[in-house]
């Protein structure tokens, strides 16, 4: 994964991805990238590997490709696909007409000239807002990770506590490895949605921060 999702929104540095690409070329190794979570615009590029200026030999995509409808795809360069002869690579439901129609409609949207600029603009604004939130609640949030609208909050409290606090504010998030809370909003959100989300994040962090003060007072420690 160019950016690990389940692993905690860990961004592989572009220079490291380029080194891996060069090493694969030198040794005759196929480079396979998992862009199931990062692909189809999530990071502000159509695919996250574009941030590093490299091209994989084989790439897995899904999730956003169907906009919520179950569909996945395995993409390969012509050279890498030479071994994928008829009967050696496929699936029972692969390429069904409904899934292909849905994926085609999604790609029409993703390839619109205004789509990726929209993701980049809102991703930057959200990251800035989250950075200010981290500054406001340093005992709750250690930092912000990610690219585009694939962002993560590295927590100082247990990430499940923040997920639960946000649920109480009617905002659904999901945890990830390395004590991170993932923020993966729909790519078609508007700025008003960011403002609403930040209100809920601020309320949740505020309540957790107050709980820390209460616990410290109960333990006889300075807040």
**pLDDT tens-digit series, residues 133-145:** 999 999 999 999 9
pLDDT of 185 reads: 96
Give the span between the Cα atoms of 33 and 26, in whole angstroms.
18
* Separation of alpha carbons 167 and 217, rounded Å: 26
pLDDT tens digits, one per residue of 71-104: 999 999 999 999 888 777 777 777 889 999 999 9
Measure the CA–CA gap between 72 and 123, rounded to whole angstroms.
25
pTM as predicted:
0.91
pLDDT (tens, 9 = 90+) of the chain, 223 residues, equals 999 999 999 999 999 999 999 999 999 999 999 999 999 999 999 999 999 999 999 999 999 999 989 999 999 999 999 988 877 777 777 788 999 999 999 999 999 999 999 999 999 999 999 999 999 999 999 999 999 999 999 999 999 999 999 999 999 999 999 999 999 999 999 999 999 999 999 999 999 999 998 877 777 755 5
CA distances from 180 to 122, 152, 157, 165, 191 (A): 21, 6, 10, 14, 24
DSSP letter at 1 equals: -
Domain residue ranges in the chain: 3-110, 115-218
Domain range 115-218, CATH architecture: Alpha-Beta Complex (3.90)
- Indicate the CATH number for domain 3-110: 3.40.640.10
């Amino acid at each position: 994964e160019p950016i690990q999702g389940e692993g905690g929104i860990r961004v592989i540095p572009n220079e490291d991805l380029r080194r891996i690409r060069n090493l694969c070329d030198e040794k005759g190794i196929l480079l396979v990238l998992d862009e199931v979570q990062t692909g189809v615009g999530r990071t502000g590029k159509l695919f996250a590997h574009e941030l590093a200026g490299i091209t994989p030999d084989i790439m897995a995509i899904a999730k956003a490709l169907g906009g919520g409808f179950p569909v996945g795809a395995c993409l390969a360069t012509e050279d890498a696909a030479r071994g994928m002869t008829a009967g050696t690579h496929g699936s029972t439901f692969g390429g069904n007409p409904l899934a292909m129609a849905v994926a085609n409609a999604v790609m029409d949207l993703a390839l619109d000239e205004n789509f990726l600029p929209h993701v980049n603009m809102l991703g930057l604004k959200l990251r800035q807002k989250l950075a200010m939130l981290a500054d406001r609640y340093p005992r709750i949030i250690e930092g912000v990770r990610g690219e585009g609208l694939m962002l993560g909050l590295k927590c100082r409290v247990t990430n499940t506590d923040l997920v639960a606090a946000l649920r109480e504010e009617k905002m659904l998030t999901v945890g990830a490895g390395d004590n991170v809370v993932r923020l993966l909003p729909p790519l078609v959100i508007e700025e008003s949605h960011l403002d609403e989300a930040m209100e809920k994040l601020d309320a949740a962090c505020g309540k957790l921060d107050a709980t820390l003060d209460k616990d410290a007072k109960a333990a006889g420690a300075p807040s």
